Amino acid sequence: MCLYYVIVVVKDKIGRRRYILLKNEPKIRKLINEIRKIDSWAKIVYYDDNFAILRCRHWYKDDILEILHNNGIKTYRTSGTIKKTKRIMQGIKL
Q: How many CA atoms lie within 13 A of 71 on its CB side?
A: 20
Domains of the chain: 15-91 (3.30.70.1150)
pLDDT of residue 61: 96
Phi/psi at 73 (5° precision): -90, 125
| Cα separation, 12 vs 16, whole angstroms | 6
Instruction: Give the DSSP H or E segment for 44.
Output: strand 43-47
Phi/psi at 32 (5° precision): -60, -30
Res. 1: pLDDT tops 80: no
pLDDT of residue 93: 76
pLDDT, mean of residues 52-71: 96
